[in-house]
Amino acid sequence: MDNIYYKNEYPQIPITIEITGQKTTSSIYLYNKNSSNYLNQIDKLTFETNHRNNSKISGDNSILTGNVFASGKYHIFINTTNSNMTEGYYELVYIRSTDDYEYGNSFYLLKNREGKST
Protein backbone atom coordinates (compact mmCIF):
# COMPACT_ATOMS: atom_id res chain seq x y z
CA MET A 1 0.00 0.00 0.00
CA ASP A 2 1.33 3.42 -0.96
CA ASN A 3 1.40 6.35 1.46
CA ILE A 4 -0.24 8.95 -0.81
CA TYR A 5 -3.28 8.57 -3.08
CA TYR A 6 -5.00 11.15 -5.26
CA LYS A 7 -8.77 11.09 -5.65
CA ASN A 8 -8.53 11.94 -9.36
CA GLU A 9 -6.26 8.92 -9.96
CA TYR A 10 -7.70 6.36 -7.51
CA PRO A 11 -11.49 6.21 -7.29
CA GLN A 12 -10.82 2.87 -5.55
CA ILE A 13 -7.66 1.93 -3.67
CA PRO A 14 -6.98 -1.83 -4.03
CA ILE A 15 -5.72 -3.89 -1.11
CA THR A 16 -5.08 -7.64 -0.90
CA ILE A 17 -5.34 -9.31 2.49
CA GLU A 18 -4.29 -12.88 3.16
CA ILE A 19 -5.33 -14.39 6.46
CA THR A 20 -3.41 -17.44 7.65
CA GLY A 21 -3.74 -19.62 10.70
CA GLN A 22 -6.94 -20.67 12.39
CA LYS A 23 -10.23 -19.59 10.89
CA THR A 24 -11.64 -16.80 12.98
CA THR A 25 -13.65 -13.64 12.64
CA SER A 26 -11.47 -10.64 11.77
CA SER A 27 -12.19 -7.03 10.94
CA ILE A 28 -10.70 -4.10 9.08
CA TYR A 29 -11.34 -0.63 10.45
CA LEU A 30 -10.90 2.57 8.46
CA TYR A 31 -10.22 5.74 10.45
CA ASN A 32 -9.69 9.34 9.42
CA LYS A 33 -8.09 12.09 11.45
CA ASN A 34 -10.37 15.05 12.17
CA SER A 35 -9.43 18.71 12.67
CA SER A 36 -8.85 18.04 16.39
CA ASN A 37 -6.32 15.31 15.51
CA TYR A 38 -8.57 12.49 16.75
CA LEU A 39 -9.11 9.32 14.75
CA ASN A 40 -12.75 8.66 13.85
CA GLN A 41 -13.89 5.26 12.61
CA ILE A 42 -15.63 5.75 9.27
CA ASP A 43 -16.07 2.12 8.19
CA LYS A 44 -15.66 -1.45 9.38
CA LEU A 45 -15.53 -4.62 7.29
CA THR A 46 -15.83 -7.99 9.03
CA PHE A 47 -14.43 -11.21 7.61
CA GLU A 48 -16.62 -14.09 8.71
CA THR A 49 -15.36 -17.66 8.77
CA ASN A 50 -18.41 -18.70 6.73
CA HIS A 51 -17.77 -16.36 3.76
CA ARG A 52 -17.87 -18.47 0.63
CA ASN A 53 -15.36 -18.13 -2.21
CA ASN A 54 -16.33 -15.53 -4.84
CA SER A 55 -18.79 -13.81 -2.52
CA LYS A 56 -18.93 -10.01 -2.25
CA ILE A 57 -18.51 -8.29 1.11
CA SER A 58 -19.12 -4.69 2.13
CA GLY A 59 -18.33 -2.51 5.11
CA ASP A 60 -20.94 -0.89 7.34
CA ASN A 61 -20.77 2.38 5.36
CA SER A 62 -19.85 0.89 1.94
CA ILE A 63 -16.46 2.62 1.84
CA LEU A 64 -14.71 -0.75 2.20
CA THR A 65 -15.92 -3.37 -0.30
CA GLY A 66 -14.40 -6.50 -1.70
CA ASN A 67 -14.46 -10.09 -2.81
CA VAL A 68 -13.59 -13.34 -1.09
CA PHE A 69 -11.24 -15.55 -3.06
CA ALA A 70 -9.66 -18.82 -2.02
CA SER A 71 -9.76 -19.53 1.68
CA GLY A 72 -8.32 -16.58 3.58
CA LYS A 73 -7.63 -14.35 0.56
CA TYR A 74 -9.58 -11.11 0.20
CA HIS A 75 -9.40 -8.33 -2.40
CA ILE A 76 -10.59 -5.14 -0.72
CA PHE A 77 -11.21 -1.69 -2.22
CA ILE A 78 -11.41 1.66 -0.46
CA ASN A 79 -14.03 3.72 -2.30
CA THR A 80 -12.54 7.24 -2.42
CA THR A 81 -15.65 8.64 -4.15
CA ASN A 82 -17.69 8.16 -0.96
CA SER A 83 -18.61 11.54 0.59
CA ASN A 84 -16.90 10.52 3.87
CA MET A 85 -13.56 10.19 2.05
CA THR A 86 -12.33 13.76 2.21
CA GLU A 87 -8.75 14.90 1.83
CA GLY A 88 -6.63 13.99 4.81
CA TYR A 89 -4.87 11.32 6.87
CA TYR A 90 -6.30 7.77 7.16
CA GLU A 91 -5.45 4.60 9.03
CA LEU A 92 -6.47 1.12 7.99
CA VAL A 93 -6.28 -1.36 10.88
CA TYR A 94 -6.72 -5.14 10.74
CA ILE A 95 -7.74 -6.89 13.98
CA ARG A 96 -8.04 -10.63 14.57
CA SER A 97 -10.45 -11.10 17.46
CA THR A 98 -9.19 -14.37 18.93
CA ASP A 99 -5.76 -13.18 19.97
CA ASP A 100 -6.00 -9.39 19.67
CA TYR A 101 -3.51 -9.41 16.79
CA GLU A 102 -3.48 -5.93 15.23
CA TYR A 103 -1.78 -4.56 12.14
CA GLY A 104 -2.14 -1.08 10.68
CA ASN A 105 -1.13 1.01 7.74
CA SER A 106 -1.63 4.70 7.07
CA PHE A 107 -2.04 6.86 3.99
CA TYR A 108 -2.92 10.36 2.86
CA LEU A 109 -5.75 11.04 0.45
CA LEU A 110 -5.31 14.22 -1.60
CA LYS A 111 -7.69 15.79 -4.13
CA ASN A 112 -5.57 16.10 -7.28
CA ARG A 113 -2.05 15.38 -8.37
CA GLU A 114 -0.44 18.59 -9.56
CA GLY A 115 -0.92 19.13 -13.29
CA LYS A 116 -3.95 16.82 -13.51
CA SER A 117 -7.60 17.66 -13.12
CA THR A 118 -10.75 15.66 -12.53
With CA atoms as reference, report the closest residue to 52 among 71, 28, 66.
71
What is the rounded average pLDDT of the residues 16-27? 75
Residue 60 CB coordination number (10 Å): 13
Domain assignment present for 35? yes
| Torsion (CA) 71, 75, 76, 81 in degrees, nearest 10 | -150
Per-residue pLDDT, 21: 67
The pLDDT confidence band at residue 43, using thresholds 50, 70 and 90, is very high
pTM for the full predicted model = 0.83
The parent domain of residue 24 ranges over 4-110
Domain assignment present for 77? yes
- CATH number of the domain to which 45 belongs: 2.60.40.10
Query: What is the count of structural domains for the chain?
Result: 1
Domain assignment present for 74? yes
Per-residue pLDDT, 116: 57
Domain assignment present for 56? yes
Per-residue pLDDT, 44: 94
